[in-house]
Chains A and B, each alone.
Chain A
Amino acid sequence: MKLLTGNDLKTGAVTWWTGSDWSIHVEDAVDVGDAGEAILRAEEGARRVNVPYVIDAEATADGPRPAHIKERIRALGPTVRPDLTLKPADPAIGNWVI
């Protein structure tokens, strides 16, 4: 699947396109298929996102899992500071990223 991601302009937080809005949770991301470029141009112009781009991901039972480790780290947070990630209480999250 193809996900659209970027950073929130004002806060810099990593965001994912949900189909109508931007969420900080990759589980909310939708498959944009071939429409990614068009969506990102519109959203960037409307300043709802900064520097958006399309990435590959696989659909899993837990939601989309970005194909590249860098994007999984963006989705979750630094692997070396689990307390600062989006899922600080989840002990299995390291496996999801790495």
Chain B
Amino acid sequence: MYQYDQYDQAMVDARVAEFRDQTERRIKGELTEDQFKPLRLMNGLYLQLHAYMLRVAIPYGTLSSAQMRMLAHIARKYDKDYGHFTTRQNIQYNWIKLEDAPDILADLATVEMHAIQTSGNCIRNISSDQFAGAAADEIADPRPWAELLRQWSSFHPEFSYLPRKFKIAVIASDEDRAAMRLHDIGIQLVHNDAGELGAKFFVGGGMGRTPMVAPEIRDFVPADELIHYAEACLRVYNRYGRRDNKYKARIKILVHELGKDEYIRQVEEEFAHMRTLGLNPPVEELARISAYFTDPAFDASAPDTVDLSDPDFRIWVEQNTHAHKQPGYAIVNISLKPVGGIPGDASSGQIDLMADLAETYSFDELRVTHAQNIVLPHVRKADLYAIWQKLDEAGLAAANLDLIGDMIACPGLDYCSLANARSIPVAQKISQRFADQQRQKELGELKLKISGCINACGHHHAGHIGILGVDRKGTENYQLLLGGSGAEDVSLGKITGPGFDEDGIVDAIEKVTSIYLESREEGERFVDTYRRIGMDPFKEALYG
């Protein structure tokens, strides 16, 4: 994985000093909250329901065991001993004091970490495929491109006061494991006819109040024009994105209102201009970064079989491990969704354990997924049993990857000042109702996603089943959506009808899953059956 050179380190150190100065000025009263707020947001510091909340960046979801240990240290020293992994591959701490924030950033900087631009109207964490560098279906590792974009977007002087936040995802396979089409810019690495590697650009996706799937804007941008093209896309947005209405300020609204063709025309015009300016790093820079992402020293003689005689171990291997491109190896998915637990939360002890496992068994590397789980990307099959035993002891061995138990839930009204309803208790109740492993397996792949408000941090529009918490005359109410997907079969969920109270929504999930079981044909997942039979049979079951 990428390692900072002196320049990268100097940037982060300077940022720490800058923020320390800004924080002191705030505490002394030289800055008002209105003046300070955008500055602290650009360092990932929110003022939330219970305290300040800090969102630490985990660039494209990749981190080392040393970095993971620092995250545990921060939880212990400055917070209440746990952290929350997010749907953008970052981590959040809920109980931060402003007066500690500069020290936290200083600690993070010692392991090449930061909270730069994890909030604010700027370019956010670049996300990517959690299986990058390990999956057989990628045409190249997308992360060097993500790193190039990360540096380009960090402290970008022209694009730090955008109309709204800006999220970019980069993948390199046809299977979309990063919800790429639901980002402001989604990039898929592709080969052109000459066999050269380049980027296909999708612009204008997003969830929130007006969910949209990003249309394709350009089918090929070569490596040495990537930055020019990204600059062009951003400049058109910075100049013409709406600033009159916060809820219409994302680039998806601009692309929609201009129309895809007009947006393309404006970008191409700007791109033609940008290309004359020499802003693009030379291909040697991408090559330099790529050198950090070569394969680890795989053991070519690693045995490719696993002893599955332990039935619980077998269930976990079958559900939570994914095929690796290298024979003898597997990708391990660590579920942060224990039955009845808080999705995405991990204690400092669990974080330390995962760091240890990565160091011992996964070439020192971990990933965070947008489904709020953790991945050990390069594990010898021979080591799976030892890993599983340690995970099981620590409550991290739920064998529910991509099953209903593997639900995404935003922090919701228990933590977030933007929320209208609590999302975690709903997740816990559903998790308990469907706790039985056989039952989950019977239901198969079922991506359940829960948001506590329209901002959709729980990605409810992209759930096979989505739940949206709303405030209905002062009480919490839950709307049900069906048929969304954030994968390559991208689609936006459709609301079923009137909402439910907390117990009602759990029953509603039972009803719709029953309809699925009754109606499905061979090989159909829940979302496939829904797409075939439509909304009516589900509505009938829900509302009579």
Residues of A at under 8 Å CB distance from B? 7, 9-14, 44, 47, 50-51, 67-70, 73-74, 77-81, 84
Q: State whether the Cβ of B361 lies closer than 8 Å to any Cβ in chain A.
A: no
Q: State whether the Cβ of B80 lies closer than 8 Å to any Cβ in chain A.
A: yes
Complex partner residue of A51 from B47, B94, B415, B428, CB under 8 angstroms? B47
Closest to A76 in B: B50
Given A10-B97, A12-B96, A73-B413, A68-B474 contact (CB < 8 Å):
yes
Complex partner residue of B414 from A44, A67, A80, CB under 8 angstroms? A80
Q: Are A11 and B51 in contact, with the CB atoms below 8 A?
A: yes
Q: Are A50 and B413 in contact, with the CB atoms below 8 A?
A: no
Q: State whether the Cβ of B476 lies closer than 8 Å to any Cβ in chain A.
A: yes
> Which residues on A sit within 8 Å (CB–CB) of B521?
none
B residues 50-79 in Cβ contact with A at 8 Å: 50-52
> Which residues on A sit within 8 Å (CB–CB) of B413?
69-70, 73
Q: Are A80 and B97 in contact, with the CB atoms below 8 A?
A: no
What's the least CB distance linking B404 to chain A, in Å?
A: 19
> Which residues on B sit within 8 Å (CB–CB) of A44?
33
Q: In whole angstroms, what is the CA distance A49 to B342 when docked?
A: 31
> Which residues on A sit within 8 Å (CB–CB) of B48?
12
What's the least CB distance linking A15 to chain B, in Å?
A: 11
Q: Are A10 and B98 in contact, with the CB atoms below 8 A?
A: yes
8 contacting pairs across A/B (C-beta < 8 A): A10-B97, A50-B33, A69-B474, A69-B476, A70-B419, A73-B49, A73-B414, A84-B95
Q: In whole angstroms, what is the CA distance A56 to B355 when docked?
A: 46
Given A9-B27, A70-B413, A79-B97 contact (CB < 8 Å):
no
Q: In whole angstroms, what is the CA distance A58 to B471 when docked?
A: 20
Residues of B at under 8 Å CB distance from A? 26-27, 29, 33, 47-52, 80, 94-99, 342, 413-415, 417, 419, 422, 424-425, 428, 474-476
Q: Are B47 and A74 in contact, with the CB atoms below 8 A?
A: no
Q: Which among A10, A73, A80 has the highest number of chain B CB atoms within 10 Å?
A: A80
Given A68-B474, A73-B414, A79-B425, A10-B51 contact (CB < 8 Å):
no
Q: Are B51 and A12 in contact, with the CB atoms below 8 A?
A: yes
Given A80-B424, A80-B425, A9-B49 contact (CB < 8 Å):
no
Q: Are B428 and A80 in contact, with the CB atoms below 8 A?
A: yes
Q: Are B422 and A79 in contact, with the CB atoms below 8 A?
A: yes
> Which residues on A sit within 8 Å (CB–CB) of B33?
44, 50-51
Given A10-B97, A11-B97, A50-B414 contact (CB < 8 Å):
no
> Which residues on A sit within 8 Å (CB–CB) of B414?
73, 78-81
Q: Are B50 and A14 in contact, with the CB atoms below 8 A?
A: yes
Given A68-B474, A78-B50, A10-B422 contact (CB < 8 Å):
no
What's the least CB distance linking A36 to chain B, in Å?
A: 18
Known: A11-B99, A12-B48. 19 other contacts (CB 8 A): A7-B51, A9-B27, A10-B27, A10-B98, A12-B47, A12-B51, A12-B52, A12-B98, A47-B27, A50-B33, A68-B474, A69-B476, A70-B49, A70-B417, A74-B49, A78-B49, A78-B414, A79-B414, A84-B95
> Which residues on B sit within 8 Å (CB–CB) of A80?
342, 414, 422, 424-425, 428
Q: In whole angstroms, what is the CA distance A47 to B415 when docked?
A: 24
> Which residues on B sit within 8 Å (CB–CB) of A74?
49-50
Closest to A47 in B: B29
What's the least CB distance linking B302 to chain A, in Å?
A: 42
Q: In whole angstroms, what is the CA distance A7 to B45 when docked?
A: 14
Q: Are B424 and A50 in contact, with the CB atoms below 8 A?
A: no
Q: In whole angstroms, what is the CA distance A10 to B50 when docked?
A: 13
What's the least CB distance linking B80 to chain A, in Å?
A: 6
What's the least CB distance linking B272 to chain A, in Å?
A: 46
Q: In whole angstroms, what is the CA distance A12 to B52 when docked?
A: 5
What's the least CB distance linking B382 to chain A, in Å?
A: 39
> Which residues on B sit within 8 Å (CB–CB) of A51?
33, 47
Q: In whole angstroms, what is the CA distance A68 to B49 when docked?
A: 13
Q: In whole angstroms, what is the CA distance A10 to B101 when docked?
A: 10
> Which residues on A sit within 8 Å (CB–CB) of B51?
7, 11-14
Q: In whole angstroms, what is the CA distance A13 to B417 when docked?
A: 14
Q: In whole angstroms, what is the CA distance A10 to B99 when docked?
A: 5
Q: In whole angstroms, what is the CA distance A35 to B419 when docked?
A: 28
Q: Are B98 and A9 in contact, with the CB atoms below 8 A?
A: yes
Complex partner residue of B47 from A50, A78, A81, CB under 8 angstroms? A50
